[in-house]
Amino acid sequence: MTEASSTMQSAAGTRLNRKGRETRQRLLDIAIGCLAQGSGEPLSANRVAREAGVSWGTLKHQFGDIDGLWAAVLVELTDRSGANSPEIWPRVTGSVRDRVWEMVDAIWTILDTPEGRAVETLRAGLPTGRDERLRDFPLTTAAMAGYEDAWLRAFEYFLADLPLDPERVHRVQALIPMAMRGVNNERRLSAPAELADARHCLVDAIAVYLQ
């Protein structure tokens, strides 16, 4: 359980007892599992409640609505990733290319974990228009921004001690996640050697651009 149990609250603002905390964690775990399966079934809080063996009322008490549920899922996934815990990040050394490769390789690995697949399924299931997302899923939109911001800060950490152009670093921050999602879409369609070549080419191009 990644949230501090002494401060964990329901959607109504009441502090959860041990049973309530366990129920909340089970719902989060099941929600992440449902998202990771990517079965094609629409994103549904009812499905999560059904698979957890609880009522909609229980889920509503914990998270308020589907927006609150998906936001809590993203907070949980951000905590699990360690991106919000710089004290556990590895010591950074090596060339620009070495460091860019580490970042690209980390994203490549994460995208194929249950947690990574859950985030991508959730991203794909949200409204495509920003205004619609902000209207219908304000909490989820904010939590997704927090998830992505945590990784951007990790990216900055990997390059912080190098004399690089900040504007180019900022542009590469935007590029890498988008590019890696594109490569990841080919993961089950292209040969492993082709996927490796694509990642190496991306890293080479970024390293040259940054330097």
- pLDDT by residue (tens digit) across 111-153? 899 999 999 999 888 888 889 999 999 999 999 998 888 878 8
Average pLDDT over residues 48-70: 88
Domains identified in the chain, total number: 1
Among 32-41, 111-120, 182-191, which is the least confidently predicted range?
Answer: 32-41
Q: Is the pLDDT of residue 82 over 60?
A: yes
Inside any domain, residue 71: no
Average per-residue pLDDT in the chain?
A: 85
Query: Could you tell me what percent of the chain has a pLDDT over 70?
Result: 89
Q: Which residues of 163-175 are buried (b: 16+ CB within 10 A; e: fewer)?
A: eeeeeebeebbee
Residue 168 lies in a domain: yes
Residue 76 lies in a domain: no
According to DSSP, residue 132 is labeled H
> Residue 161 belongs to what domain range?
86-210
Report the amino acid identity of residue 65: D
Within a domain: 38: no
Residue 125 lies in a domain: yes
Q: Which residue has the higher pLDDT, 128 or 41?
A: 128
Say what the pLDDT of residue 16 is.
79
Report d(CA 96, CA 112) in Å as an integer: 25
Picking from 113, 105, 80, 204, the residue whose alpha carbon sits closest to that of residue 158 is: 105
User: What is the residue type of 68?
Assistant: G
Amino acid found at 163: P
pTM here? 0.83
Q: Which of the four pLDDT bands, split at 50, 70 and 90, describes residue 6?
A: very low
Report how far residue 165's alpha carbon sits from residue 36's, in angstroms, rounded to the nearest whole number.
37
Reference 203, options 127, 96, 116, 75; nearest CA is 96
Does residue 51 sit within a domain?
Answer: no
- 69 lies in a domain? no
What is residue 43's predicted lDDT score, i.e. its pLDDT? 66
